[in-house]
Structure 1
């Protein structure tokens, strides 16, 4: 290869190369290349590449770079669709599976709630007799309940339940529908709050994107058997230890935003923020109705 091409690693183009190599798109195509080399042999590929003229070798590398960048851009466009899928918003023909998963999540929710009630009663009646393990279990159960929506709003996946619970808390506490009010509240938030929310949402989107790339990795199975277990294990690991945690963090920030900044909605419309919680829930529902349909008073 020419010296000019090697010198390009010190330019802006080199910076883009390095950034691209660190993306899941590169891992996906590198895995595909490894599977292809296993299937067809490294010697054949290296012999073919070495026999090509230098301009063709450079064109080949540039083409690989463009393929990685283009595929990363295309997959990124599906972030929202993949997130909605992981939440449990599925096509109607998957309704039987969705109903089965919702029933399973409802049973899990009931088990958590029953055990929490049992430990709460034990702590209330015998606060000095509850063990450290039981107290730790009570704390964990309380956290799990916080990330579960109301019984009639259960989603088929845990990620969906976490985000659904985050959407419900503003309505339960303040009468504000998060879906209707969020776009209005966003325009009023301080820049520092927006930055934190954007970073949390970016982390969730990145986790979803890595999950999708892991699932796509299974396509290389027709060249190498190990692609399937690698893709499946990666998808499970990313979902359990990254996507769920990112969803919890994002949901908590949404709840905190309504807790601390909901007054901006009232101020922007010159409505008085009710001091009483019960009255605020009633007025909050009126405010939501006003935003959605244009009346509420």
Structure 2
């Protein structure tokens, strides 16, 4: 039992350091640079080295208790920053997924309408090319046009936008497509489906969700560095770069997670129906009545 507990403690400590302490220590270091250099001497490495040497000599002449206290304070500040970012990450996830708070609802509707208009224009162009050029009369130029327009449309969303953000549409689109294909309410049926998914599928879903959450946290850290940039401009440059990376990687992580969740339903929904005693006709076709029965079962008749 002791080796198991030791291994668990090592894993928890490793996760704690990577998730909270290290990013927090980097921000504490950047804040120290901002306090020493400011905007006037933002890139003065000599001044920074001189000040760091002075601090190191000051700490070295203090008693061991003082040195330990200084290190402990720095770690506590770093962990506090990490916890602050983690708490803010919940709100940031709402921004990413388009679930904006009430004061921003009007802006959300405008952004959604604009995105839906652009998406609709692209779809009408695609439909127009297909209508004016039947399959037997399309040349390579028509095919390239359709491919380019489809790629531009899909970068905005796989269906007409209903949220102000790509990530929100990507997640919401899964529910809409599954409702149209199988007639199921994904929110109601997902807990039951989770229980019948193989462990490797659940592990992969956890992994893709963790990647998305990590990029959301990265966007919060980027905002923190942008605020610090008001006192030390290199922090703003780093924050802008980190924010751009988090945005690009977060979109890819959201698409991967949504696609995997949709595929999990496609592959394992039949097994869920069979596990709860609903007869499913053999073959690739799906009876919409099965979806209605699943909804009634998992909603408890509501």
Q: TM-score, normalised by structure 1?
A: 0.81
Match of 1:82 in 2: 92
Find the aligned partners of 1:129 and 1:236 in 2 and give their Cα distance. Answer: 36
Q: 1:183 corresponds to which residue?
A: 191
1:117 is matched with 127
Measured after TM superposition, the shift of residue 251 of structure 1 is 0.7
Cross-structure match for 2:287: 280
- Give yes or no for contact 1:116–1:141 (8 Å, CA) kept in 2: no
| Contact 1:263/1:273 (<8 A) preserved | yes
Query: Equivalents in 1 of 2:241, 2:73: separation in Å?
Result: 30
Counterpart of 1:294 in structure 2 is 301
Distance apart, 1:199 and its partner CA: 0.8
1:130 correspondence with 2:141 = yes
Tell me, yes or no, if structure 1 residue 237 matches structure 2 residue 236: no
1:65 is the counterpart of 2:68: no
Aligned partners of 1:221 and 1:228 also within 8 Å: yes
Query: Secondary structure of 1:62's partner?
Result: helix
Cα offset, 1:44, TM superposition: 4.4
Q: What does residue 6 of structure 2 align with?
A: none
Unpaired runs of 5+ residues, structure 1, are 1-11
Residue 238 of structure 1: CA displacement? 1.7
Task: Provide the rounded CA distance (Å) in 2 between the counterparts of 1:150 and 1:293.
Answer: 31
- Counterpart Cα distance in 2 of 1:98 and 1:247: 20
Matched, 1:250 2:261: no
Q: How far off is 1:45 after superposition?
A: 5.4
* 1:140 counterpart residue number: 151
SS in 1 for 2:163: coil
- SS of the residue corresponding to residue 101 of structure 1 reads helix
1:28 and 2:27 equivalent? yes
1:275, distance to aligned residue in structure 2 (A): 5.1
1:219 to partner: Cα distance: 2.2
Name the counterpart of 2:173.
165
Q: What TM-score results when the alignment is normalised by the length of structure 2?
A: 0.80
Asked if structure 1 preserves the Cα contact closer than 8 Å seen for 2:158 and 2:173, the reply is yes
Q: Is the 8 A contact 1:38 1:224 kept in 2?
A: yes
Structure 2 gaps of 5+ residues are 1-9, 42-46
**For 2:238 and 2:104, how far apart are their aligned partners in 1?**
26
| Preserved CA contact (<8 Å) 1:119 1:138 | no
2:25/2:78 contact within 8 Å kept: yes
Query: 1:10-21 counterparts in 2 under 5 A?
Result: 16=14, 19=18
